Structure 1
Amino acid sequence: MNESGPPALLDQSGPAHCTACCCPLANKVILVLFMGLLVVAILFGNLVTLAVVLGTKHFHTPQGYLKASLAVADLAVGVFVVPLSIYAEVHLMVSDSALEWTLYDSKYLRFHPCSLVGPVFAGCTFVSITTIFLLTIERSIAVLKPLHKDSVITRKRTTTLIVLCWVGSFLLAVSPTVFSSEIALEYNSCSRMCNYAPMNTRAFNILLLFPAFDFTLLGATMVINVISMSSIRQHSRRRKQLAGSECPSGGKPTFSDIKAAKTIGTLTVAFTASFTPIAVFVVGNVLGNTWCNFSFFAFWILATNSCWNVIIYSVRDQRFRRCAHKLLMPVQRKDTSNENKTQNGETFI
């Protein structure tokens, strides 16, 4: 504990800190069920993604490595971030009393769970944004410069970029608390999640670095996606014009490259939509707005993004969908194989 004086309790009972979705008992039960289902969806979806990417030789590519990195970042949200919120909310619901660490920020406790979980959530968010940016760069080269793809995008370079992405993202995540004594971490009673807790407006201005960094990368990603999509439309028009005539295919992106670029474009749109409410909330706080109810929805919309990637892959990527089906239906595959053998045997007889 801090020896300079008794710590001040965080206000957990005021009306501004009681979100409409979390105060009545029935709503608390629904909230905990939602969190539990979210954990299951995040773990299941991203473990399937890792199993398909790491277990299928076709996906042992720079693009596959980036998708695996993205899945690991999403897994961390399901392992560290959401379970802590479930634990705090279940304890509050069952015992009708809050855990001690939910009443104090990290400045007043020797060990505060949010000192770990808060930077993990922020760091994984930065990793996701940076990885989507790298995926967009990789796909744009495949679409715009297909002949240079293999020489520019190598496994070694991709691995190095992934390591730098993780290191840089987590350095950025811990920088507010390391370089400013006016920012702590707390379990926020509005968002029901570990958040940064600025002591004054100047400290809030420091946190504007987060949305500034994120929207700079997301903006660049959107621009690159627009350029890639424009190139894809031009290639599509050329194919229609030259249909039925012989035309050399060299220097043009393959169908799989085009499909992958569209998939990454969908990922970018999904992540931008899920991150925008957080950016609006941070800017609103700097301007002096509390927005308690809005903060809950903003943070949990961002958390749900961690289970969307596998859905997008399954819808957009037929080969991924086929590999995931084989992974999840081994019994059905064996039964089908045995049935075919039986039928072949009967036909032979």
Structure 2
Amino acid sequence: MSSSPGIKPQEHVDMVYISIETAIALASVVGNVLVVLVVCVNRTLRNTTFSFIVSLAVADIAVGVLVIPLAIVISLGLNTKFYTCLFFSCLLLIITQSSILSLLAIAIDRYLRVKIPTRYSIIVTQGRIYVAICSCWILSFVTGLVPMFGWNTLDAHGNLSSSSEIVCKFTTVIRMDYMVYFNFFGWVVAPLTIMIALYGEIFRVIRQQLNRRAEATCDADKYYRKELKLAKSLALVVFLFAVCWLPIHIMNCITFFCSKCYIPEFATYVGIFMSHVNSALNPMVYAFRIKRFRVTLIQITRRCMLCKPSETTSCSISTPAIKDKVDVNL
């Protein structure tokens, strides 16, 4: 890679890294703000599943607003106090945990919806959904802040005191055994395995019901076909999460289990980019795969961003008007 005149190669790499991260952050924030706005505007989307989707969108907004800027700061290797750098690093972990726990909650919600459809509305109330969302975030903070309570590299630095300044790098303050055993195996692999099993069972139950109800009422058939389409969309979100996050975790495992193995800096950067770009992909999945979401998004874009009035209204969002035009089918 050639560098511009007067710019050192490392500075050039930093500029490219910051530019890409900034673009990812902007796409993540804009896309997920639209997700929240669509759910707020369209009353037909205000159900239990989309409550969890909003929680996931908030986590993805936090990636763009908080995580990526902190990742840029950490990548520059600024001099900070040990626990300041450690706290910044823990914030990155908290947002990751909130994303995967939100995905797990969505999978459990969809499983209950197809497994016990007649009792679903009785068991899964809006109040319990709010409790579940709060529990996901609390658990994310608890697990993400574990290094702050001692599982860090302070002892490995010998005589370094907590008030001394260090070059702030993620791997300088976070222990790799924490990242591999606790974070990856415990809070990434385990939830992903559970989600794969849940979605496998969801598809099995839906297809079984569709086969049984081939001669049943049209409404029942429509219900399960709608559930199948939504399950496919949400399973795609889980798949993209795994594809985007596994590379950086696999590199962590290689570093931990094979100290002599060399991982190119370029590969590390790609792994970081993939983990961050995941936050910008989810709104695209919703827009392309969920008709209710897509139609409402088009309405918002036409009536607000492009300022194209719909009939007699001008650049304003009217919930009833949008609701009337949105097809309730997926």
TM-score category, normalised to shorter length = 0.7 to 0.9
Q: Alpha carbons of 1:23 and 1:137: their partners in 2 closer, same or farther (altered >3 Å)?
A: farther
TM-score under structure 2 normalisation?
A: 0.78
Task: Please identify the structure whose Cα radius of gyration is greater.
Answer: 1
Tell me the distance in 1 between the aligned counterparts of 2:64 and 2:231: 27
How far 1:250 sits from its partner (Å)?
5.7
Which ranges of structure 1 fall in alignment gaps of 5 or more residues?
1-21, 90-97, 189-194, 340-349
Shift of 1:170: 1.2
8 Å contact from structure 1 (residues 145, 251) kept in 2: no
**Alpha-carbon distance, 1:322 to partner:** 0.7
Aligned residues: 290
Identity of aligned residues (%): 20
* Partner residue in 1 for 2:172: 197
Deviation sequence 1:209-259 (CA, Å, 0-9, x none): 0001211001100111111112223334445x43xxx54856994443332
Task: Give the distance between the partners of 1:210 and 1:334, measured in 2 at CA.
Answer: 47
Alpha-carbon RMSD: 2.9
1:256 aligns with 2:230: no
Q: Structure 1 residue 234 and structure 2 residue 208: aligned?
A: yes
1:34 is aligned to 2:20: yes
- Which residue of structure 2 aligns with residue 47 of structure 1? 33
1:307 aligned residue: 280
Q: Which of the numbers 182, 198, 201 marks the counterpart of 2:153?
A: 182
**TM score, norm. by length of structure 1:** 0.74
Partner of 2:52: 66
Which of residues 206, 220, 243 in structure 1 aligns to 2:178? 206
Pick closer, same or farther for the CA change 1:319–1:248 going to 2, 3 Å: closer
Contact conserved, 2:32 with 2:58, CA < 8 A, in 1? Answer: yes
Aligned to 1:159: 130
Following the alignment from structure 1 to structure 2, what is the Cα–Cα distance between the partners of residues 29 and 225? 41
Q: Measure, in 1, the Cα distance between the counterparts of 2:11 and 2:147.
A: 36
Give the corresponding residue for 1:268: 238
Q: Which moved more, 1:279-288 or 1:328-337?
A: 328-337
Aligned residue in 1 for 2:303: 330
Supply the distance in 2 between the matched residues of 1:333 and 1:103 (Cα, whole angstroms).
44
Alpha-carbon offset, residue 148 of structure 1:
1.6
Amino acid at match of 2:141: F
Contact 1:105 1:187 in 2 (8 A): yes
Match of 2:163 in 1: none
Alignment of 1:137-176 (within 5 A): 137-176=108-147
Q: CA deviation at 1:323?
A: 0.8
Unaligned runs of 5+ in 2: 1-7, 158-165, 314-330
Question: Which residue in the other structure is 1:343 paired with?
Answer: none
Residue deviations 1:105-136 (CA, integer Å, cap 9, x gap) = 642xxx73x44432222111111101101100
Distance 1:319 1:204, change over 3 A: same
1:152 deviation in Å? 1.7
Give how far 1:268 is off: 0.9
Separation of aligned partners in 2, 1:66 and 1:330: 27
Verify the 8 A CA contact 2:86 2:148 in the aligned structure 1.
no
